[in-house]
Amino acid sequence: MKAIIYGGWHMGRFPVTEALAGEPLALPIRPRMPVEEIAYVTTTIGSFWTS
């Protein structure tokens, strides 16, 4: 990806991000999920990252 290289990015510059990029993330979201459940999931995730 030449655009990334030209931007000055190189492996090791963002070690935490690079490590997490290889980890799977499964969100409890499904088709036709009620808005209330989506709000609960997104609020819970937001609370996790702000605590």
Residues 6+ apart with CB under 8 A from 29: 38, 41
Q: Check residue 21 and give its pLDDT.
A: 85
Task: Report the share of the chain in percent with pLDDT over 90.
Answer: 29
CA-derived radius of gyration, the chain: 17
Query: Phi/psi zone of residue 24: left (φ > 0), alpha (ψ -120 to 50 degrees), beta?
Result: beta
Structural tokens at position 49: 């990252």
When the pLDDT of each residue in the chain is averaged and rounded to a whole number, the result is: 83
pTM for this model (two decimals): 0.51
- pLDDT of 1 strictly over 60: no
